[in-house]
Amino acid sequence: SQQGEEDPQALSIQEGENATMNCSYKTSINNLQWYRQNSGRGLVHLILIRSNEREKHSGRLRVTLDTSKKSSSLLITASRAADTASYFCATHGAGSYQLTFGKGTKLSVIP
Partner 1 sequence: ETGVTQTPRHLVMGMTNKKSLKCEQHLGHNAMYWYKQSAKKPLELMFVYSLEERVENNSVPSRFSPECPNSSHLFLHLHTLQPEDSALYLCASSPGVASPEAFFGQGTRLTVV
Q: List contacts with partner 1 (CB under 8 A).
A: 2, 4, 30-31, 33, 35, 40-45, 48, 88, 90, 92, 97-104
Rounded least distance, CB 78 to partner 1, Å? 25
Cα–Cα dist 94/19, whole Å: 29
Residue 44 or 110 having the CB closest to partner 1? 44
DSSP 28: -
Rounded least distance, CB 81 to partner 1, Å? 21
Residue 18 or 38 having the CB closest to partner 1? 38
Rounded least distance, CB 26 to partner 1, Å? 13
For residue 11, count other CB atoms closer than 10 A to its CB: 17
Residue 29 or 109 having the CB closest to partner 1? 29
Amino acid at 69: K
Rounded least distance, CB 44 to partner 1, Å? 7
Cα–Cα dist 46/75, whole Å: 12
Cβ atoms of 47 and 58 closer than 8 Å: yes
Residue 76: Cβ-neighbour burial (10 angstroms; 0-12, 13-18, 19+): buried
Residue 42 or 59 having the CB closest to partner 1? 42
